[in-house]
């Protein structure tokens, strides 16, 4: 085999391993969309105006993603006057390290490692 063929095969194998082994950020998007679907009060329309599937969830107000995997690391929604029952899917944000939701009207609990 020529060097180009071997290089191409090794490159393809590397990409395949990377895609299979990489965390899937669609789980994060699913969790955030489930959360917003439960919102019953958003008096300033902050989430209604900003949380849209037309933009990456990493660019949504209150969301901070890690640079490497583009997974949600922080959810900061304090003082927004939001109200809802917390969607169980929020427990699927496995990279979440910071959760700031004070001064809102949330109910329920967060189940760690929820799987859809």
- Position 11 scores a pLDDT of 57
Determine the pLDDT at residue 56.
92
Dump pLDDT digits (tens) for 25-83: 889 999 999 999 999 999 999 998 999 888 999 999 999 999 888 999 999 999 999 99
* Beta bridge partner(s), residue 74: 64, 98
Which residue is listed with tokens 């490692």?
Answer: 113
Write the pLDDT tens digit of every residue in 11-41: 555 544 444 444 468 899 999 999 999 999 9
Query: What pLDDT is recorded for position 6?
Result: 65
- Output the pLDDT for position 16: 46
Nearest 10 degrees: Cα torsion 64, 27, 70, 24: 170
State if pTM tops 0.85.
Answer: no
């Amino acid at each position: 085999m020529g060097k180009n063929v071997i290089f191409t095969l090794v490159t393809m194998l590397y990409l395949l391993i990377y895609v299979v082994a990489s965390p899937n950020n669609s789980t994060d998007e699913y969790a955030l969309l489930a959360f917003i679907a439960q919102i019953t009060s958003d008096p300033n329309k902050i989430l209604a105006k900003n949380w849209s599937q037309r933009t990456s969830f990493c660019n949504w107000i209150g969301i901070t993603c890690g640079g490497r995997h583009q997974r949600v690391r922080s959810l900061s929604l304090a003082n927004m006057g939001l109200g809802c029952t917390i969607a169980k899917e929020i427990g699927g944000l496995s990279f979440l390290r910071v959760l700031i939701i004070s001064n809102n009207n949330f109910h329920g609990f967060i189940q760690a490692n929820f799987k859809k």
